Chain A
Amino acid sequence: MRLRESLQYTSLSLPAIILYLVLVIVPLIGAFYYSFTDWDGLGKTYRFIGLDNYFTLFTDKIVLRTFSTTMKYTICVTVFQNLLALLLAIALNQSIKTKNVLRTAIFIVCTLSPLLNGYIWSFVYSGPLMGVGRLLGIDMLANNILGSKDGAIYAAAFASIWRMTGWTMIIFLAGLQMIPKELYEAAEVDGVGPFYKFFYITLPLLAPAITINVVLTFERGLKDFDSIFALTGGGPGDSTLVMALSIYKESFFFSRAGYGTTIGIMLFLLIVVCTLIQLKFLRKREEDVI
């Protein structure tokens, strides 16, 4: 009987496993394979060059610079998206008449495609925002921020935060609703103020939601391609050239698909390492609460 049940469950999950193998594992193995070659992305022939691409990568200042740009972008998105989402979740967890409308309005933005989001913000930065800046005589706004080598990466991060905050907020809202009201009532009886309630009840009990949000936002930030591509294409200069864009550039423009996949593999390893570190740290925090 148990064997039959187990077979039933296995067969039910088989389609998902097959899809996962075909769409994730096979390309991943392919990427590893090509990272040891000098394939140009077009030709039918290529040579095995061992670890050459990896050695080149660690001495390649241009690619190493994209690493720091990626981290700058990712940290900015992770910190501000989570803070903003948490604030919104707390606000929309109160008894406000329009809370359902507001929740929907904020969440719906994340259904936009990242590419479309990029084009929308490209228009906003170069059109209306510049107009407002000129009208008010604010130089920083009057010149397109996407043209600034220091500001463009933050402008790109802002566009991403704007799109995904609603999604993060929903997870925080779910976490907030899981916290027993009795705890707050008991705290109120003891005369605890809102500040202490937040730091000693809300924040610790929100730990699982924080773990999910921080890990996913960080991982998405590292992989972000579409919206930066639409906003700046990596420019001005290479000031917004993140690792994902660099893979694309090396593979398609410089005809170095082998090298491009090597950067892809490094990005994959970076995501794995960062995720593991975050999970170790954040899970420990969750356990401490329990």
Chain B
Amino acid sequence: MRKLVPIWLCLLMMLTACSSPSTTDSIAEPGKTSSPATAANVTLKLMLNSADDVPAFNKIIEEFQKTNPTVKFEVNAVPGTDTFITALKAKYSSGDAPDLYSFQVGARTGEFANAGLLLDITDTPLLANIKKDDLKLVTYKGKVYAAPLNAQATGIYLNQEIFDKYSLKAPENFNELLDVNKALREKGIKFPMIVAGKDVNHVSQFDFQYLATVVVPSDPDYYKKMLKGDLHFNSPLIRTMFERYGMLKEYVSPDALGVDADEAVKRLIKGEGAMLMNLNGLLSTIRRYGPDTKLTMVPSVLQDKTEDRILNVGVTTGLHISSSSKYPEEAKKFIQFALTPAMGNIYSKEAKQFSTVVGVTEAYDDALKSMLPWLNGNKKSPHADLVWIPGIKDVMKEVTQKWFLGEPIDSVLNQWEEQHQRLMKANPTFVENFGKE
């Protein structure tokens, strides 16, 4: 029996090592101030959904720590929407939730708020520099659960050198877009329209822009109708979108399905193509490959008449505080600091994004100059997809890619609708609460 003693000791040591350390209860009451004893050693875990945001946040943190030297940060960037949501959910499930995280607003904010994972920040001073209109997508059942961080505008990047060379004017409506493509082809640019077909986010850019600038302005309640069953994703309204895309596809390179985002950017810079539809957020990637390329970004031109043209812009990312954060007051204090005009300017310049903070004046790239009158104007339309039931946006991307592969429009539209019905059935809470501010 004596022989067994070392074995049992090893086993005991192993079990001790396996057991979790004596953790304090990590769930703090929302809004409760952390105790002075802990405030001396505060470490806020900040999870960002874009690696491009890291330098900006490092600078903001540096400034913040000048007046709050005891607050330390653990910054962790997980780029890519898909990867981020997976990592975030895994962190919440394992009890290792970040104190703060930046992510897509809208339905995703609602999803986490509904699960009781976010701190209610309604009527707190940290929203002082944010427009009331910008709070819509971070509000769930009348309460605000995130601070809007940036807004994204969609449009078309034009290789201005090519447009200047052939004395072409930027298109202002859909017919002009087709004409410009035709003219460029005649000048020798065989495939003027660049599409990164391999990347579902890129291949579906047309959809995002069409929905926001054509469908939403014509019927702002279209999605409410869809949830009620009065309208469907296989209705003629959406069918037209694919028919339009099909007209443009003629000017897209046949190898587009093998083209990823980086390759698409390279083709635009090299002048192998002249136009690329995307968000202003792509500019940081474009500048990595072509810091001096003469570019112009113009708002979407997918509507029939020039006078109906509208800028698709809206809050896309928000800063969320976990309800389980041990330091909610420090987290709020940091957000309030990050959303001051001075820090907003730093964010805009470093992250190359449009800040949501009122009073931010920096225009971070010359390519966006033509967007400024639109950004300061009133003809704006929000992102259509952010209010959709979680998951259906990914379905849209997938079916668009399938259509791009050659699957008939009706087939992909039916799949889209079928998935929508499936998700509505699986998430009755979302359907029930939709539109209730």
Chain B hits for A43, CB < 8 A: 114-116
B203 to A, closest residue via Cβ? A236
* A-contacting residues, B174-224, CB 8 Å: 197-198, 200
* A-contacting residues, B115-131, CB 8 Å: 115-117
B80 to A, closest residue via Cβ? A233
Of B85, B254, B399, which one neighbours A237 at CB under 8 angstroms?
Answer: B399
Residue positions of B touching A, CB distance < 8 A: 1, 3-4, 7-8, 10-11, 14-15, 82, 85-86, 89, 92-93, 111-112, 114-117, 197-198, 200, 254-260, 263, 390-391, 394, 398-399, 401-402, 404-407, 415, 418-419, 422-423, 426-427
Chain B hits for A236, CB < 8 A: 197-198, 257, 401-402, 404-405
> In the complex, given contacts A15-B14, A126-B263, A255-B391, what are 13 additional A-B residue pairs having Cβ atoms less than 8 angstroms apart?
A7-B4, A8-B7, A15-B11, A40-B111, A42-B115, A43-B115, A147-B255, A147-B256, A234-B398, A235-B200, A236-B405, A237-B398, A237-B402
CA distance A39 to B3 in the complex (A): 49
Q: Does A253 contact B (CB under 8 A)?
A: yes
Q: Are A44 and B197 in contact (CB under 8 A)?
A: no
Q: Are A147 and B426 in contact (CB under 8 A)?
A: no
Shortest Cβ distance from residue A290 to the other chain B in the assembled complex, whole angstroms: 39
A-B contact pairs, 25 of them (CB 8 A): A8-B7, A11-B7, A11-B8, A14-B11, A40-B111, A40-B427, A42-B93, A42-B111, A42-B112, A43-B116, A44-B116, A130-B258, A144-B198, A144-B255, A144-B258, A147-B257, A147-B258, A234-B398, A235-B200, A235-B401, A236-B405, A238-B402, A248-B86, A253-B82, A254-B426
CA distance A145 to B198 in the complex (A): 10
B258 to A, closest residue via Cβ? A144
Given A43-B116, A44-B115, A259-B426: A253 touches B258 (CB 8 Å cut-off):
no
B394 to A, closest residue via Cβ? A253
Q: Are B405 and A143 in contact (CB under 8 A)?
A: no
A259 to B, closest residue via Cβ? B426
Chain A hits for B406, CB < 8 A: 149
CA distance A96 to B259 in the complex (A): 44
Q: Are B398 and A238 in contact (CB under 8 A)?
A: yes
Shortest Cβ distance from residue A120 to the other chain B in the assembled complex, whole angstroms: 15
Given A15-B11, A238-B398: A4 touches B198 (CB 8 Å cut-off):
no
Shortest Cβ distance from residue A89 to the other chain B in the assembled complex, whole angstroms: 35
Q: Are B92 and A42 in contact (CB under 8 A)?
A: yes
Q: Are A38 and B426 in contact (CB under 8 A)?
A: yes
Contact string against B for A residues 8-37, beta-carbon threshold 8 Å, 1 for contact and 0 otherwise: 100110110010000000000000000000
Q: Are A252 and B198 in contact (CB under 8 A)?
A: no
Chain B hits for A238, CB < 8 A: 398, 402
Chain B hits for A88, CB < 8 A: none
* B-contacting residues, A198-231, CB 8 Å: none
Q: Are A144 and B257 in contact (CB under 8 A)?
A: yes
Q: Does A173 contact B (CB under 8 A)?
A: no
Q: Does A170 contact B (CB under 8 A)?
A: no
Q: Are B92 and A256 in contact (CB under 8 A)?
A: no
Residue positions of A touching B, CB distance < 8 A: 4, 7-8, 11-12, 14-15, 18, 38, 40-44, 60-62, 126, 130, 142-149, 233-239, 248-249, 252-256, 259
Q: Are A235 and B398 in contact (CB under 8 A)?
A: yes
CA distance A130 to B260 in the complex (A): 13
Q: Are B254 and A143 in contact (CB under 8 A)?
A: yes
Q: Are B117 and A42 in contact (CB under 8 A)?
A: yes
B90 to A, closest residue via Cβ? A252
Shortest Cβ distance from residue B185 to the other chain A in the assembled complex, whole angstroms: 20
B393 to A, closest residue via Cβ? A253
Of A60, A148, A255, A259, which one neighbours B111 at CB under 8 angstroms?
Answer: A255
Of B3, B10, B92, B257, which one neighbours A8 at CB under 8 angstroms?
Answer: B3
Given A236-B402, A253-B390: A146 touches B426 (CB 8 Å cut-off):
no
Q: Are A42 and B255 in contact (CB under 8 A)?
A: no
CA distance A150 to B437 in the complex (A): 46
Q: Are B427 and A147 in contact (CB under 8 A)?
A: no
Given A233-B82, A235-B398: A40 touches B115 (CB 8 Å cut-off):
yes
A148 to B, closest residue via Cβ? B257
CA distance A253 to B260 in the complex (A): 22
B93 to A, closest residue via Cβ? A41
Q: Which of B8, B93, B197, B255 has the most CB of A within 10 A?
A: B255
CA distance A148 to B398 in the complex (A): 14
Chain A hits for B86, CB < 8 A: 248, 252
B18 to A, closest residue via Cβ? A22
CA distance A14 to B11 in the complex (A): 9
Shortest Cβ distance from residue B201 to the other chain A in the assembled complex, whole angstroms: 11
Chain A hits for B3, CB < 8 A: 8
B254 to A, closest residue via Cβ? A143
Shortest Cβ distance from residue A218 to the other chain B in the assembled complex, whole angstroms: 27
CA distance A249 to B14 in the complex (A): 36
B257 to A, closest residue via Cβ? A147
CA distance A194 to B237 in the complex (A): 69
CA distance A236 to B260 in the complex (A): 12
CA distance A249 to B390 in the complex (A): 12
Chain A hits for B407, CB < 8 A: 237
Chain A hits for B14, CB < 8 A: 15
Chain B hits for A41, CB < 8 A: 89, 93
A145 to B, closest residue via Cβ? B258
Chain A hits for B426, CB < 8 A: 38, 254-256, 259
